[in-house]
């Protein structure tokens, strides 16, 4: 679904009915629930978040009724007597932060729960402060669910970061009920002071007193206070009125804002009241209508003046201010915007989408600069399910030339349910249209599979099941490529060909547990061979098509594979002849049979191996079901031998069991919400774990089609995605870059794509924002290795601020930690060595138990060799490799952070930073840059200076190159760059 906004409307006329303030409503309701007696709250709020507060209070036993006039709430307060143990706060952060402290006053234990989103919402600082006030609680993850024991707080002296005002307000609401005095101190930047001021003022209305220190950062609260009922009249909500005010500023208007009487901040206690003064400063005429007493905006068109705003005072107004500033006559500056990036979405990044409409916005550290332009053009935009972003972009779109479409069209209901109706009532044109991407998770029959259960079933048996249930449905599609036409196998055909290939392998003497090797592109034969090999209890050993004689000699020798499958020709290489030469050369692997796929030339000879045509050998088979069933594997048998394609060192043969791979695929499917209605697009090589496990194996486990792309090409991939309705893809970042470029050049996004998981390296934040918008799909980061499978992964419902630029969060059943050099676990925000534990770890390295032992800690965790930081919400940011650390005279340079910053430069397409030797400091940083425009060393320094980066962290050498060296799956080969930098 989309919100369709038609731009370049005429004059705006009519009335807007401004709803009551949700900020006042939350606080009045919660304080009324604590005051013995009946409180009257005049004015009903239909904001979704306020409804969550009402529902949660009712679950705590509070009686809330609508008065006879239909516009008053009657709240009967007193001690909470929960009607259920688990109390849901829905999707309201305010309800979460206010009620978590207060349920300590309940007569019984309470567990606070909410939407899955809150399992990633940081609340640890608040929980720590509550424990300091004597609250007994249990929250192992630092996020909901949070269990709170019934106990009157003792009071005490606590400190709380000023990051979120709701943390501070939650403590202030609880402190008067303590048995001893409380002193609450705010540390660090203090954002949203006006919101805390509103809490204190509302508490005073109920007889609760808070003394504010002279610096405004300390709050003293006396104990044993008792609230009394009150009569509260809710004022109009300036935050909702803001969107109508902005719309009326951009078009000739005569609009009455019914309910809003204040024309300046001094006339109201609303926490966003400063917006009124800001709008007046920009030239918007706010006048009190003499006939009604409400604000009227009337003008025949105006040019707004630029403005400078500190967003700490009105953080929620950044989206609408950005829209207004984009049309102002000059450059506006919005300062202190970092905090705004922690809201429902990264609102700064979200509003940078205005640049796609012709605006000129640029981000400089903690400041957003908006250079006014004369007009905007329509665009496809993402709201990131953020109500304020959606409404602000809709207002911008109403000023643009053409029709714009915005995702998550119903997000406005969270705070302003009548937004669309009100905007249309004054002459704008907004409507919700049906989209093309149905939420397949809504189908009750499409439940996500259970990893533990499905891991007990052999993969080949699952394929047989899908063949019986859906014999004529497509199972695997191979896109057309040079020399090969498009192919499609149904589940019946795939199962039958796998039986024939299994019989063929038995005929060639393949034993249980023996590797079968193949070096094939993403062709259907790879899928057939995988199932066939598993069906007879053998081990799959796919090899990358780019490997040449040196790598093949090593890997085939290590694997001791007696059967090898290769193409006759592929992309200009004669694979069959190359293998023949290898088998007749020195130190030749002991290969006994070679099967050649495609081609019609004479078969080579070499090394005593027998050569066969794959298709001919397959056609001869008459599978014996009894023989095949006798070889059927158990789930715990070895199933895969995959040689690592790391950036340094000797390739390692990683062994995995079948149940491990199936469990890993199912865990990813559950985490992402994939179901049997999805279609998996596989551009990553099937000889790499990304393509093999999170492409082919994932699709076979789910029983859904997978679409193979044999030769990578952005436009061709886009066409394949569109033709076969691909919904999910996991691939390295370069694949994402090329696909985005293809969409931008054609203007035709892949209509059904829902999720792109980018692996190999964290997606640069700027690229993630761009890709999310261009593809109209969730772009999720991930971290994994051949040894561990995926350990961390983003998800479509995660906040963009958390996902963009990170490697996701731990999958259910995966443990993650960072440790120091001594192996001690470190806390949130500290950099250390990244370690993982799960049921998806490898079985060991082939022939190297010493390597296996060295990779594991004494308590069973896998040492990744990566450096990482885990934040309060559990999101991981890989900061580099242990061996990639740049130590500049004892100062460690945050390489990943500087790379992320440089990726945002408009003239830089790609960048990698490595150490270069230095006699005095030991190491200095060298930046290798792939450029898209003019850039030199001085410009790099100037750019980092503007970002306020410490000079010690700046690269001290710049090298311009055509492309970064990468391994077959897109990882930058920094060892090569270090070699180049040392010359």
- Residues catalogued as catalytic: 316
Distance CA 32, CA 280 (A): 36
For 430-480, what is the HEC assignment? EEEECCCCCCHHHCHHHCCCCHHHHCCCCHHHHHHHHHHHCCCCEEEEECC
Integer CA distances (angstroms), 325 to 351, 380, 785, 823, in order = 12, 21, 46, 51
User: Which residues does residue 73 pair with via DSSP β-bridges, in sequence order?
Assistant: 41, 66
b/e 808-834 (16+ beta carbons within 10 angstroms → b): bbbbebbebbbbeeeeeebeeeebbbb
> Do residues 417 and 8 lie in contact, with contact meaning Cβ atoms separated by under 8 Å?
no
Element (DSSP H or E) covering residue 617: helix 614-619
* 709: helix, strand or coil: coil
Give the dihedral sign, CA 579/580/582/583.
positive
Task: Classify burial at 6, counting beta carbons within 10 Å of its beta carbon; exposed 0-12, middle 13-18, buried 19 or more.
Answer: middle
- CA angle, corner 688, sides to 555 and 517, nearest 5? 40
Q: Which residues are within 8 A (CB) of 24 and not within 5 positions of it... i.e. 6 or more apart? A: 198, 202, 232, 234, 235, 270
Distance CA 751, CA 97 (A): 39
Tokens, residue 227 = 């609230």
Nearest Cα to Cα of residue 831 among 873, 782, 893 = 893
Give the dihedral sign, CA 101/103/109/111.
negative
Q: What are phi and psi of 205, to 5 degrees?
A: -65, -25
What residue has token string 């061979």? 529
* 350: helix, strand or coil: helix
Q: What is the DSSP letter of 357?
A: G
> Do residues 735 and 712 lie in contact, with contact meaning Cβ atoms separated by under 8 Å?
yes
Nearest Cα to Cα of residue 600 among 575, 564, 568, 571 = 568
Element (DSSP H or E) covering residue 714: helix 714-724
75: left (phi over 0), alpha (psi -120 to 50) or beta: beta
Q: What is the DSSP letter of 529?
A: H
DSSP 871-890: -TTSBEEEEEEGGG-EEETT
Q: What is the DSSP letter of 557?
A: H
Task: Classify burial at 676, counting beta carbons within 10 Å of its beta carbon; exposed 0-12, middle 13-18, buried 19 or more.
Answer: middle
Q: What is the DSSP letter of 764?
A: P
* 753: helix, strand or coil: coil
Q: What's the count of helices (H) and strands (E) in the chain, helices before strands?
A: 31, 50
The Cβ of residue 630 has, within 10 Å, a number of other Cβ atoms equal to 10
For 306-339, what is the HEC assignment? CCEEECCCCHHHHHHHHHHHHCCCCEEEEECCHH
Distance CA 703, CA 678 (A): 9
Residues placed in the known binding site: 22, 27, 93, 121, 165-166, 316, 343, 347, 388
Distance CA 766, CA 947 (A): 15
Q: What radius of gyration, in Å, describes the C-alpha atoms of the chain?
A: 31
> Do residues 910 and 964 lie in contact, with contact meaning Cβ atoms separated by under 8 Å?
yes
What residue has token string 């034969």? 525
Residues placed in the known binding site for 3-phosphoshikimate: 22, 27, 165-166, 316, 343
Residues placed in the known binding site for phosphoenolpyruvate: 22, 93, 121, 166, 347, 388
Distance CA 428, CA 9 (A): 6
């Amino acid at each position: 679904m989309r919100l369709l906004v038609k731009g370049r409307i005429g004059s705006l006329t009519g009335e807007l009915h401004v709803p009551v303030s949700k900020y006042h409503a939350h606080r009045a309701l919660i304080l009324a629930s604590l005051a013995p007696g009946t409180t009257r709250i005049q004015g009903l709020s239909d904001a979704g978040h306020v409804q969550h507060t009402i529902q949660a209070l009712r679950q705590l036993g509070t009686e809330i009724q609508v008065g006879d006039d239909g516009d008053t709430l009657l709240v009967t307060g007193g001690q909470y007597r929960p009607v259920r143990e688990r109390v849901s706060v829905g999707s309201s952060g305010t309800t979460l932060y206010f009620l978590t402290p207060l349920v300590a006053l309940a007569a019984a234990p309470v567990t606070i729960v909410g939407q899955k989103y809150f399992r990633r919402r940081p609340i640890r600082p608040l929980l720590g402060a509550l424990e300091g006030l004597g609250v007994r609680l249990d929250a192992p993850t630092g996020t909901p669910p949070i269990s709170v024991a019934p106990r009157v707080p003792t009071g005490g002296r606590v400190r709380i970061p000023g990051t979120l005002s709701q943390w501070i307000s939650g403590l202030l609401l609880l402190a008067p009920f303590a048995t001893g005095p409380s002193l609450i101190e705010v540390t660090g930047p203090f954002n949203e002071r006006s919101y805390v001021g509103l809490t204190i003022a509302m508490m005073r209305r109920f007889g609760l007193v808070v003394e504010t220190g002279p610096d405004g950062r300390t709050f003293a609260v006396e104990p044993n206070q008792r609230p009394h009922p009150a009569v509260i009249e809710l004022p109009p909500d300036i935050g909702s009125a803001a969107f109508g005010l902005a719309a009326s500023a951009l078009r000739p208007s005569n609009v009455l804002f019914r309910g809003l009487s204040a024309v300046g901040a001094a006339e109201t206690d609303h926490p966003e009241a400063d917006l009124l003064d800001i709008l007046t400063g920009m030239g918007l005429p706010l006048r009190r209508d003499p006939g009604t007493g409400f604000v009227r905006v009337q003008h025949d068109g105006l040019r707004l003046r630029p403005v400078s705003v500190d967003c700490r005072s009105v953080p929620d107004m950044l989206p609408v201010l950005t829209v207004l500033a984009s049309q102002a006559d000059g450059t506006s500056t919005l300062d202190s915007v970092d905090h705004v990036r922690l809201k429902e979405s990264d609102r700064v990044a979200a509003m940078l989408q205005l640049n796609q409409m012709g605006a000129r916005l640029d981000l400089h550290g903690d400041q957003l600069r908006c250079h006014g332009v004369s007009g905007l053009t329509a665009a496809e935009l993402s709201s990131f399910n953020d109500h304020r972003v959606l409404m602000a972009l809709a207002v911008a779109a109403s000023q643009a030339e053409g029709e714009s479409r915005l995702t998550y069209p119903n997000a406005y209901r969270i705070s302003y349910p009548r937004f669309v109706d009100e905007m249309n009532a004054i002459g704008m044109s907004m409507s919700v249209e049906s989209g093309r991407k149905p939420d397949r998770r809504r189908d009750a029959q499409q439940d996500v599979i259970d990893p533990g259960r499905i891991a007990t079933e052999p993969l080949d048996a699952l394929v047989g099941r899908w063949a019986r249930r859906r014999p004529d449905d497509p199972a695997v599609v191979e896109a057309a490529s040079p020399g090969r036409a498009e192919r499609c196998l149904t589940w019946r055909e795939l199962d039958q060909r796998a039986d024939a290939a299994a019989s063929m392998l038995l005929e060639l003497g393949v034993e249980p547990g023996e590797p079968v090797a193949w070096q094939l592109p993403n062709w259907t034969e790879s899928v057939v061979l995988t199932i066939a090999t598993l069906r007879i209890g053998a081990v799959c050993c796919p090899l990358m098509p780019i490997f040449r004689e040196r790598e093949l000699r090593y890997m085939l020798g290590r694997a001791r594979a007696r059967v090898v499958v290769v193409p006759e020709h592929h992309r200009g290489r004669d694979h069959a002849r190359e293998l023949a030469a290898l088998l007749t050369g020195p130190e030749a692997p002991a290969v006994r049979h070679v099967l050649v796929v495609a081609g019609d030339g004479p078969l080579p000879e070499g090394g005593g191996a027998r050569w066969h045509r794959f298709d001919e050998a397959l056609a001869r088979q008459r599978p014996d079901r009894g023989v095949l069933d006798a070889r059927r594997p158990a789930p715990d048998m070895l199933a895969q031998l995959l040689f690592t394609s790391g950036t340094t060192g000797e390739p390692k043969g990683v062994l995995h069991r079948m149940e491990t791979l199936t469990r890993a695929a199912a865990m990813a499917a559950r985490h992402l919400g994939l179901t049997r209605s999805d279609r998996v697009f596989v551009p990553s090589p099937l000889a790499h774990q990304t393509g093999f496990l999170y492409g082919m194996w994932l699709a076979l486990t789910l029983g859904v089609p997978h679409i193979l792309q044999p030769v990578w090409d952005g436009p061709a991939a886009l066409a394949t995605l569109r033709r076969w309705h691909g919904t999910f893809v996991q691939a390295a970042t370069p694949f994402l870059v090329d696909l985005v470029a293809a969409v931008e050049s054609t203007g035709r996004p892949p209509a059904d794509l829902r999720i792109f998981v980018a692996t190999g390296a964290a997606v640069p934040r700027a690229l993630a924002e761009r890709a999310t918008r261009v593809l109209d799909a969730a772009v999720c980061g991930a971290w994994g290795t051949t040894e561990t499978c995926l350990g961390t992964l983003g998800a479509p419902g995660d906040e963009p601020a958390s996902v963009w630029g990170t490697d996701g969060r731990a999958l259910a059943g995966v443990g993650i930690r960072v440790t120091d050099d001594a192996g001690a676990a470190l806390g949130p925000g500290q950099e250390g060595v990244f370690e993982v534990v799960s049921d998806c770890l490898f079985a060991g390295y082939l022939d190297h138990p010493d390597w296996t032992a060295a990779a594991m800690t004494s308590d069973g965790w896998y040492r990744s060799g990566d450096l990482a930081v885990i934040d309060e919400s559990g999101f991981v940011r890989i900061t580099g490799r242990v061996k990639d650390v740049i130590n500049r005279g004892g100062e460690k340079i945050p390489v990943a952070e500087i790379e992320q910053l440089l990726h945002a430069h408009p003239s830089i397409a790609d960048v990698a930073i490595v150490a270069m030797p230095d006699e005095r400091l030991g190491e200095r940083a060298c930046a290798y840059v792939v450029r898209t425009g003019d850039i030199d060393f001085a410009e790099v320094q100037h750019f980092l200076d503007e970002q306020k980066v410490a000079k010690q962290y700046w690269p001290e050498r710049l090298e311009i190159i055509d492309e970064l060296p990468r391994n077959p799956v897109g990882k930058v080969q920094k060892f090569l760059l270090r070699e180049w930098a040392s010359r």
